[in-house]
Amino acid sequence: MNDNEDIPGLPARAAALDLLGTALSRRAGLDEGLNHPAMAALAPRDRAFARALVMATLRHLGPIDAALQAKIRKPPPERIVNVLRLGAAQLLVLKTPPHAAVGATVDLAAAQKGGQAFKGLVNAVLRGFTREPVALDDPALFAPQWLAARWAAAFGADEARAVAALIAAEPATDLTLQDPADAAELAPELEAEVLPAGSLRVGLKGEVSAWPGFDAGRWWVQDASAAVPARLLNIQRGETAVDLCAAPGGKTLQLAAAGGKVVAVDRSAGRIKRVSENLARTGLGAEVIVADAAEWRDSRTFDGVLLDAPCSATGTFRRHPDVLWVASPADIPKLAQVQAKLLDSAARRVKPGGRLVYCVCSLEPEEGEGQVAAFLARTPGFALDPIAPGEGGAPEASLREDGTLRILPHHRVGGTDGFYVARLRRT
Ligand X SMILES: C[S@@+](CC[C@H](N)C(=O)[O-])C[C@H]1O[C@@H](n2cnc3c(N)ncnc32)[C@H](O)[C@@H]1O
Phi, psi of 219 (to 5 degrees): -155, 165
310: helix, coil or strand? coil
For ligand X, which stretch binds (CB under 6 A), given 179-187, 249-257, 279-287, 391-399? 249-257
Helix (H, G, I), strand (E, B) or coil at 202: strand
Q: Smaller CB distance to ligand X: residue 248 or 368?
A: 248
| Pick 5 or 295: Cβ nearer ligand X | 295
The residues near 60 (Cβ < 8 Å, ≥ 6 apart) are: 89, 92, 93, 136, 168
DSSP strand pairing (419-426 vs 350-360): antiparallel
- The residues near 257 (Cβ < 8 Å, ≥ 6 apart) are 178, 179, 282, 284
Q: What is the DSSP string of 70-108?
A: HH-SS---HHHHHHHHHHHHHHHTS---HHHHHHHHHHH
Strand residues in 244-375 grouped as ranges (E): 261-266, 287-290, 302-308, 350-360
Contact status, residue 70 vs residue 98, Cβ threshold 8 Å: no
Check residue 268 for interaction with ligand X (CB under 6 A): yes
Contacting ligand X within 87-126 (CB under 6 A): none
Q: In the complex, what is the shortest distance from the CB of residue 276 to ligand X, in angstroms, rounded to a whole number?
A: 13
**Shortest spacing between CB 266 and ligand X, in angstroms:** 5
Query: Contacting ligand X (CB under 6 A), which of 165, 294, 373, 376?
Result: 294
Does position 293 interact with ligand X (CB under 6 A)? The reply is yes
Q: Which of 223, 266, 322, 367 binds ligand X (CB under 6 A)?
A: 266
Choose one: 204-212, 262-270, 280-288, 401-409; the region binding ligand X (CB under 6 A).
Answer: 262-270
Contacts of 328 (CB under 8 A, 6+ apart): none
Establish if 86 lies at the interface with ligand X (CB under 6 A): no
Residue 321 interacts with ligand X (CB under 6 A): yes or no:
no
Residues designated as active site: 361
β-pair partners for 426: 382
Q: Which C-beta is closer to ligand X: that of 126 or that of 408?
A: 408
Site for ligand X in 342-371 (CB under 6 A): 342
CA distance 339 to 311: 8
Note whether 261 binds ligand X by CB under 6 A.
no
For residues 146 to 175, the per-residue mask of contacts with ligand X, x marking binding by CB under 6 A and - elsewhere, is ------------------------------
Does 320 help bind ligand X (rule: CB under 6 A)?
no
Strands of 173-177's sheet, edge to edge?
A: 192-194, 200-202, 173-177, 219-221
Taking the least distance from each CB to ligand X, the nearer of 161 and 251 is 251
- Residue window 226-245: x/- pattern of binding to ligand X, with contact defined by CB under 6 A: -------------------x
Is 246 a binder of ligand X (CB under 6 A)?
yes
Structural contact between residues 147 and 327, judged by C-beta atoms closer than 8 angstroms: yes
The residues that touch ligand X, with contacts defined as CB under 6 A, are: 245-251, 265-268, 271, 292-294, 308, 310, 342
